[in-house]
Amino acid sequence: MIETKTLTLAEIEDLSLRALMEAGTRVENARPLAKATAATEADGVASHGLAYIPIYCEHVQCGKVDGAAHPVVDQPRPGVVTVDAATGFAHPAIDAGFERLIPLARQQGIAALAIRNSYNCGVLGYHTYRLAQAGLLGIGFTNAPASIAPSGGAKPVVGTNPFSIAAPGADGEPAVLIDQSASTIAKSEVMKHARECRPIPLGWALDADGTPTTDPEIGLKGSMAPSGGYKGVGVALLTEMMAAAMTGATLGLEASPFSGTKGGPPKTGQFFIAIDPGATAGGDFADRIAALAAAIHAQDGAHLPGDGRKAKRQAAARNGVAVNVATLARIEAILG
């Protein structure tokens, strides 16, 4: 039985902020990450929430990420924004890029944001969610250190490489939010099971020979199982092309791990496309999405991608979030 303690979202954000700053992160970089951590906990994605704060802090202290980085924003073409994250956290780099991306997409109908020399961006759907809140269709890609082997092989060449799509709804919230990795499960979930000394379900990871395993430690030394077999590998390659090749970021094959202190900054990338539905669908977009959502919700037991997170988010705002006490202890140790 895992012991937990209930914290409000404000308490989670404050705790994250203080720990990141204690580790050497300047407040302008720590605040966006702390805010995202609270939102991630609210969505019920604990593997990417407070559990990552000790890792973030360790990476600032060992130099894997520059907590004092200043993202550099450029606009090389009318519809293109680029950000050099300067080996700092992804979140402040994405924030700086969105400040340019959102008005450009509204003005031109479509705009793209390419981020390089970046770091783990946490839950990708958190970022596309914000584009949908701005009334835009948000599409996002982020690459990661290699952990998925190609079809027929056993040596990892691409990361779990998530993609996300968020469609704006009439109420200012996403009507649909798709956020999924190319692997059967996010690698952070396997890492979480390893920290808690728990076996993983068969089908999550493979050993060094490509055989399914229930031992998270062996899985982490082997490879993640691609979702849908060769189709998952295809999604991973698509994301690698968008988030690494299209941004000038480091390929997952060459990126240092997001865990542990081995290697320098991973220098991975993110790529976002923001589209104003009014430019392509006129005034019918919201109605079409609403009709699609209604057809799914009309089926007993059926749900849309993002429904689960939305329900948890609403409950967390009212009741707070149950947080692993062991995780809290690790963070408190950072604060002294």
Class of domain 1-62+310-336: mainly alpha
Specify whether 189 is catalytic.
yes
Q: What is the pLDDT of residue 273?
A: 98
On the CB side of 27, CA atoms within 13 Å amount to: 1
Catalytic residue among 48, 59, 127, 193: 48
Q: What is the pLDDT of residue 154?
A: 87
1-62+310-336 shares its CATH topology with 68-183+226-305: no
* 256 contacts 265 by C-beta, under 8 angstroms: yes
On the CB side of 203, CA atoms within 13 Å amount to: 6
Catalytic residue among 47, 118, 188, 256: 47
CATH number of 68-183+226-305: 3.30.1370.60
Catalytic residue among 16, 59, 147, 189: 189
Residues of the chain short of pLDDT 50, as ranges, are none
Q: What is the pLDDT of residue 234?
A: 96
Specify whether 47 is catalytic.
yes
Q: What is the pLDDT of residue 53?
A: 97
Q: What is the pLDDT of residue 312?
A: 95
Domain boundaries, the chain: 1-62+310-336, 68-183+226-305, 195-225
Q: What is the pLDDT of residue 104?
A: 98
Q: What is the pLDDT of residue 171?
A: 86
Beta bridge partners of 185: none
Beta bridge partners of 221: none
Question: Residue 335 region, left (φ>0) first, then alpha (ψ -120 to 50), else beta?
Answer: alpha
Task: Kindly report the pTM of this predicted structure.
Answer: 0.94
Q: What is the pLDDT of residue 1?
A: 74
